Structure 1
Amino acid sequence: MTRKNMKEAVKQKLESPGWQKILRISNQQLAITLGAVLNAFAYVLFQMPYNLAAGGVAGLGIIVNTLTGFSPGLFYFTANIPLFILGFFTLGKWRFLFTSTLAVVVFSGATEFFIIHMPTVFTRFPITENKLLATIYCGLLIGIGSGIIYRFGGTIGGTSIITRIIYNKTGFPMSQSGLYVDVIIIAAAGLVFNWETSLLAFLALLIAGMSADFALEGASQMRTLIIITQNPEPLRYAIINELKRGVTMWQVNGGYSGEERTLLYLTVLRSRVYDVKFIINRIDPDAFMVVGVSQQTWGGYTLKKKVQAIASDHDADL
């Protein structure tokens, strides 16, 4: 197959009907909107009343609001305009705007809406006097909202634009540059408010990062197993027939001994790791196994019918 034919074949496989494209884009935009609304809800309910300036343009907006009275939602939108102009010329032009503008506009508008209407909805506002409780829920909700936005290909704008530009120009890790920017804003909050509030803001930032990872990747239920053995056939047969899982095998050589071994690679549910250990202990106690975390698995080799077909072939061979 020529390069041109290959490109055409791949393009044809990736093409989908127009209604499917519209549905996919609509679902993406709806998810980004919900994530931005959730962020704004947590921002007004838990972050603003306690001055938890947990980094980013949103945190800077709390400081500016305290010093000048400028509305945080309007400040967030205004501050992102020059960042969008900068990102337009350095991060992909229209594609960058398409994935970032919606979240910023929705967050800014929802923030202004909640600032006006939230005190009238709740009989008591703020809803708690416990700053630590507000910090925890602030981090959880903002992290989940941000994770949803990232999961569907959007960005929340703000300092993430700066960190992406730094990464593209210098290769400096985005996580580190983002942390440095956030720490500067949190330190400024400590000077404006007090250091206890600054410490709580940093805690909210950490919780938001962890909950964003959870929303982005989900709970890890799968484990990746690497088994190195000199007795591969019984192990392979037991895994396929007892666990109903597929397994991939390679011939490998020991780096120290130079002896030939067989490497078995498979993924199982977290609850089935013990069963694999039991099989190894009974069949090949000298085997070496490494257990790793897998966020997601995808593909046909985990389908029951295929595993049953493989098991049938092994039964016929034996």
Structure 2
Amino acid sequence: MTPDLSTPSKHKLHEDIFAMLIGTTLVSLGVVLYSEVTLTTGSSAGLALLLQYMTGISFGVLFFAINLPFYVLAVMRMGWPFAIKTFVCVGLVSYFTSQFPLWLDVSQVEPLFAALIGGGLMGLGILSLFRHKASVGGVNILALFLQENFGIRAGYFQLGVDAVILVLAFFILPFDRVIYSIAGALVLNMIIALNHKPGRYVGFS
């Protein structure tokens, strides 16, 4: 019997948990690839990477701290379930990015490969979280709020914010690393823009 894919179905708790684990793992792996070759991305993750390069403070600590103010918007505008899941996801990314170097030895990776594959991994991870009413915080929260309340595409909004962060990167990173980072950001945001549309996915949490 073919399931009715036109009728929205509510995600079960274990489905949300699985999606959150998969999504944060993909995002974290992308961040580790970026960190290995000194790339950056947009949103709070990109800002955390830039600050890591400047200060030497670990990405996980910076990423968790940067996201704290956004939980107020998450609770006020998106509700407690979304805020709690986002808090958990941010915590998981902070943890996974600190542990992946112990679990996986990336001794050599080409910067362009890291940019494109890392951007793709992060885009797929964020998409998985979006579809289960969660995010990795920061601009993701604001992007989801604008899409659900004003019809502004989350991917396109993030692309604009990411452009600002990547411009700042020109003052911190080598020129070629910024160019690679821009290519990765395009891959990340196009995945979200092309796949996170009203009616494209009918499940809900």
* TM-score normalised per structure 2: 0.80
Query: Following the alignment from structure 1 to structure 2, what is the Cα–Cα distance between the partners of residues 171 and 295?
Result: 14
Q: Unaligned 5+ residue runs, structure 2?
A: 1-7
Larger Cα-atom Rg: 1
Q: Unaligned 5+ residue runs, structure 1?
A: 1-13, 15-20, 218-293, 298-318
The letter for the 1-side match of 2:136 is: I
String of CA shifts for 1:5-58, please: whole Å, max 9, x gaps: xxxxxxxxx9xxxxxx8x8111211211111012112211x1111222111111
Aligned with 1:80 (options 56, 64, 67): 67
Partner of 2:27 in structure 1?
39
| CA positional deviation for 1:138 | 0.8
The answer to whether the 8 A contact 1:145-1:212 is kept is no
Identity of aligned residues (%): 22
Q: Matches of residues 1-318 of structure 1 in structure 2 within 5 Å? A: 24-44=12-32, 46-89=33-76, 91-115=77-101, 117-118=102-103, 121-122=104-105, 125-128=106-109, 130-164=110-144, 174-212=154-192
Distance 1:296 1:186, change over 3 A: closer
Distance 1:25 1:214, change over 3 A: farther
Query: Following the alignment from structure 1 to structure 2, what is the Cα–Cα distance between the partners of residues 42 and 50?
Result: 11
The DSSP-based 3-state class of the residue aligned with 1:157 is: coil
String of CA shifts for 1:132-187, please: whole Å, max 9, x gaps: 11112112211221222222232221212233456688776544432221111111
The answer to whether the 8 A contact 2:156-2:189 is kept is no
| CA positional deviation for 1:60 | 0.9
Query: Following the alignment from structure 1 to structure 2, what is the Cα–Cα distance between the partners of residues 104 and 185?
Result: 20
The DSSP-based 3-state class of the residue aligned with 1:191 is: coil
* Aligned CA-pair RMSD: 3.0
Query: Following the alignment from structure 1 to structure 2, what is the Cα–Cα distance between the partners of residues 167 and 69?
Result: 35
| CA positional deviation for 1:110 | 0.7
Q: How many residues align?
A: 193
The answer to whether the 8 A contact 1:144-1:214 is kept is no
Query: Following the alignment from structure 2 to structure 1, what is the Cα–Cα distance between the partners of residues 190 and 28?
Result: 19
Distance 1:206 1:112, change over 3 A: same
The answer to whether the 8 A contact 1:190-1:196 is kept is no
Q: Which moved further from structure 2: 195-204 or 206-215? A: 206-215
Query: Following the alignment from structure 2 to structure 1, what is the Cα–Cα distance between the partners of residues 178 and 142?
Result: 22
The letter for the 2-side match of 1:112 is: S
